[in-house]
Amino acid sequence: MLGVSRTPVREALLNLFRDGVVEIIPKRGYRLVELDETAIMEIRLLRVALEQLVVGRLCETATPSDIRELREILKGKGQSQEDMFGIDEAFHIRMAEMAGLYQIRRELLSVRAKMYLIASGARVASLRNDNVVKEHAAIVDALEQHDGRKARRLITQHVERSIDAFVAARADLLAQQRLERLS
């Protein structure tokens, strides 16, 4: 149907399985992992810890060129401003690359994939987009000032607010689904 052979699809699904995004159902196939409150708490802790390591390192190593590049990413260069997820991912992943933390970059990609599972198809409020832009800009300002304490505080608040938005979107979707079933 998609014009793709089975082998690359199977390999992609196995990668998602290794990342904890899908689970294998014997003799049936794959399905998205359902995250409970404990898993969400762990994702929150892991994401905060990884992001704090990244901004801590960047506060020590960021050059004026790095700061300019991060500001360009925040403008959505090459992407639609409505694609906040794409801009957000480019921003966070590029920070890890700039810091030279490639294993952390890999882990961030995995943790971010699990974050998207939290909302499980729900739309995160567009109001969050404006806040994300402001939060990103404040983080870059702290990096430019080489203020590690402030950068770690800002990234922690940013990640926690983002996860809270995903959790709220998930709750709204589940409530809507319950109402539809009752109708």
Among 49-63, 71-85, 87-101, the least confident range: 71-85
Averaged confidence pLDDT in the chain: 86
pLDDT digits (tens, 9 = 90+) for 64-75: 999 999 999 998
* Predicted pLDDT at 171: 79
Domains in the chain: boundaries: 1-33, 36-182
- The number of residues making up the chain comes to 183
**Average pLDDT rounded to a whole number, residues 169-177:** 78
- Name the phi and psi angles at 24, rounded to 5: -90, 130
Task: Report angle CA 8, 85, 67 to the nearest 5 degrees.
Answer: 110
138-174: b (≥16 Cβ within 10 Å) or e = bbbebbbeeebebbbbbbbebbeebbebbbbbbeeee
- Residue 81's pLDDT is 47
Three-state DSSP state, 2: coil
Classify domain 36-182 at the CATH superfamily level: GntR ligand-binding domain-like (1.20.120.530)
In this structure, what are the phi and psi dihedrals at residue 62, rounded to the nearest 5 degrees?
A: -60, 135
DSSP secondary structure, 52-104, as one string: HHHHHHHHHH--HHHHHHHHHHHTTTTS-TT-HHHHHHHHHHHHHHHTT-HHH
Q: What is the mean pLDDT of residues 154-175?
A: 87
Q: What is the pLDDT of residues 25-48, one digit of tens each?
A: 888 887 777 778 888 899 999 999
